[in-house]
Amino acid sequence: MNGPDDEFDDFLSRRKPLFRRPADDLQPPEEIDRVVLRRAREAIEIERPQRAFRGANWGAPLAIAATLLVVFTVVLHFMQPSSKAVPEVTVQQVAQPVAAASPTVTTPAWRNDSQSWLAQIEKLRAAGRNAEADAELAAYKREHRALAVDPNR
């Protein structure tokens, strides 16, 4: 049987075309091809940076590690035994107290000459200032002993 129904069924199942179709060269313009492909590319390129930001799996561990490192360093710093701070010593700092503590002491003129020194001791004794006389005598003896030890003086 080869009725209209069979013919239509053949058409439906594409076994027998109703119209013989030569090669169909109807194509979209190249400009439209470029526009569509550009849109498609732009769509996924816009998406990529967002994905990279969202999907940075290493970002969180890195941040945690950095934080831990900073905390550990700070804790370690404060747990170290505190060494006493050594003040900086300068020439000025040393010189000022020494100058303040030792006012200029002028040696009496009679100490420059042993005869005068001994005469002064006698004067002190005569005046009853025996303690001063003894101190001067002791000083006299130290001085002259030192001279005996150090011949260069």
Q: Which residue ranges make up the site for other proteins (CB under 8 A)?
A: 8, 11-12, 14, 18-24, 26-29, 32-33, 35-37, 39-41, 43-44, 47-48, 51
> Among candidates 136, 145, 128, 134, which has minimal Cα distance to 108?
136
Closest CB to other proteins among residues 14, 84: 14
CB 60, min distance to other proteins, A: 22
* Long-range pairs, 85-92, Cβ under 8 A, ≥24: none
In the structure encoding, which two tokens stand for residue 25, read together?
């060269």
Closest CB to other proteins among residues 20, 77: 20
CB 78, min distance to other proteins, A: 49
CB 51, min distance to other proteins, A: 8
Could you tell me where the DSSP H helices lie in the chain?
4-12, 30-54, 59-79, 91-101, 114-126, 130-149
Distance CA(133)–CA(126), nearest Å, equals 9
Closest CB to other proteins among residues 33, 122: 33
Closest CB to other proteins among residues 26, 85: 26
CB 79, min distance to other proteins, A: 49
Distance CA(34)–CA(29), nearest Å, equals 9
